[in-house]
Chain A
Amino acid sequence: MRKAFAAVLLLAAPLALARADVPVRTEQLIYSVIAFNGRDYTPTFAPESSSAVYLLAGADSFISLRKTLVYFWPLTGRLQTDTQTLNEQLDGTLEVRDRRGKVLRSISLQRYTFFNVRGEYEQNWKVAVDADAEKEYQRYLSLYRSFMKSIDDYTRANTEYLAKLKEMSDRIESLKASGKDVRALQEKMSSVPRPRQPDEPADYVVPPAPLQQAFVVNLPPGRYRVRLINPDGSVMEGSDKRIICTTPRRSGSVGYQVLPSDKWTRPEESKTPSAVIYVNGSADLYVSVFYQDELNDLAYQKTLDNAARGNPNVFSWVRIQQVPHASLQMSGADGMASVLQERPFTVQQSQGSSLGYTIIPYDPLGGQKSPDLMAFRVPVSTGTRLIRLSARDNGGKPLPESGRQIRIVSPEVPSLVFALLAIIPLAAMIVVLAMRRRYSRQGTTSRAE
């Protein structure tokens, strides 16, 4: 045994020389950015090697300059920040200049918060600064504290309720054992009020972020140069960067999210206005309609993540928010039109060994507090060939670029027909060459005669 242990130790000895591959951390002045992307806020950072910060024009975004440690993380192939070791926010003023160097704005640090208030749909972002931010955050804290207090009260009341039930249950059991009538006690037990679980505060979808200081940047479309002016009036070395503010090329177009009833977790989006939705017709579709903006692919990707790659010559449609109270006009190949209304639905996982989901109409009296999706149910079958959709707004007005076709693709691809089509030119060649030979023979014969 000792020999074996010694052998294991001997074999493991070289491992003592092995060390974890710790990435090299370098101190850098970074632009820490929380950028509005048209739909929500995403954090990113621009290291010293990045020359530009990308923002959406006309929307509040937050920039702060920080000294932190930056390292390359090989597993993701990206630069990361080590803010736990060093995270020093720099004080001063952000000077925004145009291309010719003319100072357009000097932005001071402000305390800010951003939050999304609950509405019927998702796009309700608000920004508050300074005193308003403090007020909003305190309001949220007060709501939160009050909710936590009501949770405590509920927990206490629920414990008392359960204890009372247990006590009565024990009494009933003992009375039953002695052969006495327990009906009155049972009735009393069933009439004991059960404490109600408090609802979460419904005011916010995304609560206000804890107050921070940053430069609140809201610029018109264009390219700007920015730098940090220190409190003593000097320019912070290495703080020169460009801000590229982009604006949608087109706004207010309509896209569709398509959820097949058998693949609830894998929605497809139809964003290009001329796009066709091809399906095999094996499942009904649940369709929701959203507004979308068209943004430059590179600029948008870099707004989300400063290290991202994108295509500078392609514009991509970005989903903004669901169209409120839309209706959907649906017509088949025969031209018969019907109007669909948006309905709430609940998604239930299939029970037993079968995998998948079932989408059923939402029952407000059921156990679930809110529906899983608001959508239009479009019945599809393999017998259907074509469904035309067009969305209308709350007033019944057709929405721009909302026309789409759903085409049910024939599953049996006639491969033989495809092959025949491909050999048509070869068949023509055989005919032409045969005719040529025939004519040249005829010519030779007539000359010989």
Chain B
Amino acid sequence: MRISIRSGLVIGWRQLFESLLSPGFYVMLSVGLALGSLLVAGFTGSIDSSGFEPQASPLYDLISRSLSGAFGATFVEKLFAEGPFLFALVAAFLPVSVYLAIASVFRFAQEKNAGAVELLVYGPADGTSYILAAFLKDLILSAGSLALIAAAFAVEAALTNLLLGPLFLWALAALFLLSASFFAYGLLCSIVVVSSSSAIALFLGISLVFSLVFAGSFTIVSAPVRTLSSTAAALLSWISPFFYAGMIFRGVQAGSQGAVLAGLLLLAFLSALLVLAGRLIIDAKGVRA
């Protein structure tokens, strides 16, 4: 096990270097930052003598109308209560995390198909090392991205006299662990299916289902609906990273440190469980495609 971890670290380090040498990561990070900066600039343009007035900016008018229509005015009020940075953080980090997850899924499945992983395991490394390497590489890159986004937002906050806010700081931790869970899901997808395109399709499908279930739980309704689909969604939510992210959000809103901590720990636990599941599957199936 110790050898697997050590090999994983070495391979992960090499993979990290390779990722930093390709332009994709930088481009997605720039896209994310541009999106975030646009949202911050739009927010400052929506401030008048009475406070935040979404109608003053066409961008925020559109955002607030869309979000209010789906999730209600209370949700929007809470989302922007501390300023624009919570929403901007999600918007800025989303392209980066999606890119990292898909790149890992594609790469792992492709290398497995090409027999590169099989070649590697003739040495001291094994399948677990390779999973761990990809996972660690994604963790480091997502932590770096979040740090850079947070630093850029801190500069923007200082320039505009906005506040990052306590929810923003919680969101940094939650987004990091949330992305970790999705990276783990991505790796699991690339382990269980044969081709890289199938792995990406499976990963995107799972992510979409989780996103829809999560969005559904925050959608405004006229009555509490108890149907088969909502029961299925309730069952599915336990394996959804969004469920635990929602727990953190609700915990912060309720001022419950316990719920926040539980949400963070459960997210980390889910990621660990998925990596473990990947390891068990790869041990049983082998690394041959």
Contacts and interface: CB of A to CB of B under 8 A. Distances in A.
Interface of A: 50-52, 249-250, 258-263, 266-268, 270-283, 297-298, 302, 307-316, 385-386, 405, 407-411, 413-415, 417-419, 421-426, 428-429, 432-433, 436
A386 B159 CA distance: 13
B74 A274 contact: no
26 contacts: A52-B223, A258-B51, A259-B50, A260-B48, A266-B50, A270-B81, A272-B77, A276-B165, A278-B162, A279-B51, A282-B48, A282-B49, A311-B220, A313-B250, A314-B253, A315-B253, A316-B77, A386-B161, A413-B44, A413-B160, A417-B156, A418-B37, A418-B156, A424-B148, A429-B26, A432-B26
A260 B83 CA distance: 19
A310 B72 contact: yes
A266 to B, nearest CB: 6
Contacts of A308: 222
A425 B30 CA distance: 6
Contacts of A282: 48-49
B66 to A, nearest CB: 15
A415 B162 CA distance: 15
Contacts of B71: 311, 314
Given A279-B48, A309-B220, A429-B26, 16 more contacts: A260-B49, A261-B49, A276-B162, A278-B52, A278-B162, A281-B49, A282-B49, A298-B220, A298-B221, A314-B218, A414-B159, A417-B156, A424-B30, A424-B33, A425-B29, A426-B27
Interface in B49-72: 49-52, 71-72
Nearest to A263: B50
A246 B153 CA distance: 40
Q: Is the interface of B mostly helix, strand, loop or mixed?
A: helix
A422 B255 CA distance: 34
B78 A314 contact: yes
A422 B167 contact: no
B44 A409 contact: yes
Contact of A407 (B77, B163, B246, B255): B163
A307 B81 contact: no
A160 B23 CA distance: 94
Interface string B265-287: 00000000000000000000000
Interface string B1-35: 00000000000000000001101011101100110
A276 B166 CA distance: 11
B124 interface: no
Given A267-B50, A311-B74, A407-B162, A418 B27 contact: no
A380 to B, nearest CB: 9
B208 interface: no
B217 interface: yes
Nearest to A297: B74
A381 B34 CA distance: 31
B9 to A, nearest CB: 22
A428 B26 contact: yes
Q: Name the 8 nearest CB pairs between A and B, nearest first.
A: A429-B26, A275-B81, A260-B49, A425-B29, A272-B81, A422-B34, A283-B49, A316-B74
Interface string B74-102: 11011001110000000000000000000
B222 A274 contact: no
Nearest to B20: A432
B64 to A, nearest CB: 14
Contacts of A385: 161
Contacts of B148: 424-425
Contacts of A386: 161
Nearest to B155: A421
Contacts of B38: 418
A432 B49 CA distance: 46
A281 B44 CA distance: 13
B123 interface: no
Contacts of A277: 51
Contacts of B77: 271-272, 316
A284 to B, nearest CB: 9
Contacts of B222: 307-309
Contacts of A410: 44, 159-161
A415 B81 contact: no
A426 B26 contact: yes
Interface in B235-252: 246, 250
Contacts of A266: 50
B72 A311 contact: yes
Contact of A418 (B23, B40, B250): B40
Given A311-B75, A410-B159, A413-B41, A278 B47 contact: yes
B159 A268 contact: no
B152 interface: yes
Contacts of A314: 71-72, 74-75, 78, 218, 253
Nearest to B218: A313
Contact of B246 (A310, A313, A429): A313
Contact of B223 (A51, A271, A316, A407): A51
B54 to A, nearest CB: 12
A410 B159 CA distance: 8
A64 to B, nearest CB: 22
A378 B176 CA distance: 40
B47 A409 contact: yes
